[in-house]
Amino acid sequence: MSRIEAVLKNLKSESRKALIPYITAGDPAPDQTVALMHTLVRAGADIIELGVPFSDPMADGPVIQLACERALKHGTSLRQVIAMVREFRETDTDTPVVLMGYLNPMEAMGYEAFADAAADAGVDGVLTVDLPPEEADQVAPLFAERQLDPIFLLAPTTTDERIRAISEHSSGYVYYVSIKGVTGSASINVEEVASKVAHVHELTALPVGVGFGIRDAKTAAAVGRVSDGVIVGSVLVDTIARNQADPEALNQALTDLLHPMREALDSLAQ
């Protein structure tokens, strides 16, 4: 059983929901990322999605675009991101880490070299925004052999036929994109998301995480009620941007943001 599967199974047995924060690796600076990951865990993260910066993040709004630019200014490479996970693993062997990014840095490194290095460093899953399952035939066996969970997106526009097909290519969880739009763009319609996620649950046995548009404890709880976990990205990255000059203030601000979400999600179990 993969680390992701184990964590989600355990949460389910306690009727709890996963809190999955996203930050961009190397933002605001590469030497701060591992410490920030530990902060996220202390504030209640169950799984971390670690963004791999890319020069042309087409599915991201301005907040994550700027995070990529900050990280790339320091030359943060995919190899360095993998090294950050390795360092994180020295003191945390429980929290699953999913690398989230775009295909080209992985292609430039070489799929096999990437899969080897990622698995060896303790990466658990890989979410490649611009790699639909149709184009994943090269990477899928490499990931499977190394027990890296391939995590794919589902969108409001995804047909039932595709939901089934995508779920078959996925392991760990599927990521439901709650809105039509880029990251950090709009607020979500909880009722719409609820009915769509309920429908996704009918079509797949995999846990469903919901992301895009979750910015506070209230939306986290509303989405948590209908899903297996919530993914929180832009609001965290924005907090990093606003506190980048002061690491201590940043730690506190991230904790203040995540902790109420954790409590709100856990209150659903009672």
Active site residues: 49, 60
**Phi, psi dihedrals of residue 51, rounded to the nearest 5°:** -75, 135
**Binding positions for other proteins, rule: CB under 8 A:** 54-62, 65, 69, 72, 77-79, 102-109, 129-132, 134-135, 152-159, 162, 166, 177, 180-182, 185-186
Nearest to other proteins of 160, 263 (CB atom)? 160
Q: Interhelix angle for 160-169 vs 190-203, to 10°?
A: 60
Give min distance, CB of 130 to other proteins, in A. Answer: 5
Sign, CA dihedral 127-96-159-233, equals negative
Nearer to other proteins, 54 or 88 (CB): 54
Is-cis flag, bond preceding 132, omega within 30? no
Supply the minimum distance, in Å, between the C-beta of residue 182 and other proteins. 5
In the bound state with other proteins, the residue whose beta carbon lies nearer, of 112 and 246, is 112
**10 Å Cβ neighbour count for 136?**
17
As measured in angstroms, the least distance from the Cβ of 252 to other proteins is 30
Contact in structure between 88 and 45 (CB atoms under 8 Å): no
Distance CA 195, CA 190 (A): 9
Nearer residue to other proteins within complex by CB, 61 or 172:
61
User: Cβ of residue 234: shortest distance to other proteins, in angstroms?
Assistant: 14
